[in-house]
Chains A and B, each alone.
Chain A
């Protein structure tokens, strides 16, 4: 029971970060801030959700097969943890090379 509670808490926290990242992606003003929201929020959201799923899989006892599947899920989480920030970095750097202008506040520029 306590395992399920922790797993659900992790998945809900992960979903919260996904929603925050999507909100940032839609509402932030320019390219760089949107990449910032997507990179950070999605990485942590995927990490928490997958950790929750790995824990939920161990609900029916710690058999070898269940531990193997949980390990696979954790390896996916590790892969996302490495690859997602790198992809965000690459896209942002491509924007910088193509001289995409950062957003500035309208009042201060006048």
Chain B
């Protein structure tokens, strides 16, 4: 039994080189696909929530393959909080801009006054802007929830796994 424990410790210490290499190769494409889903949300399946979840999944995959420290080099807690609030500000900002210009909340058609496009195109652009805001917020909140659950609220782990 002691031998088995020692052996499993040895295996855990051994570099997970296959998993790390594949994750390093695949994560950029996952993020690219997340941006694709966000950008095409208004005329194909997808949107801010789905794309944001895909972006968050790429960061969660990074935590699983490496560790939390490695991921926080890419996205620290500060940047995470800033992204979360920025998304909400973009969403609310576009909504309130429509109110200021004299229409209902999130009634994008009125944006034709300030955009160089007609009502239909400004409606499409407004939806795209709102989707981008939703995507930022969903990504940041998903990563934050995962970090809090995975590290019991301490946002750091010592053991490489």
Question: Do B19 and A90 touch (CB < 8 A)?
Answer: yes
* Given known A-B contacts A79-B29, A82-B25, A82-B26, A89 and B19 have beta carbons under 8 A apart: yes
Stretch at the interface among A7-15, A23-31, A44-52, A94-102: A94-102
**B19-45: which residues lie under 8 A (CB-CB) from chain A?**
19, 22-23, 25-26, 29
Q: Main secondary structure on chain A at its contact with chain B?
A: helix
Q: Is B145 an interface residue (CB 8 A)?
A: no
**A53-110: which residues lie under 8 A (CB-CB) from chain B?**
79, 82-83, 86, 89-90, 93, 96-99
Which residues from chain A contact B25 at a C-beta distance below 8 Å?
A: 82
Which residues from chain B contact A89 at a C-beta distance below 8 Å?
A: 18-19
Q: Main secondary structure on chain B at its contact with chain A?
A: helix
Chain B: number of interface residues, binned into ranges: 10 to 19
Question: Do B22 and A82 touch (CB < 8 A)?
Answer: yes
Interface size on A, residues (CB 8 A): 11
Q: Is B148 an interface residue (CB 8 A)?
A: no
B14 to chain A, nearest CB (A): 9
Give chain A's interface residues, CB within 8 Å of chain B. Answer: 79, 82-83, 86, 89-90, 93, 96-99
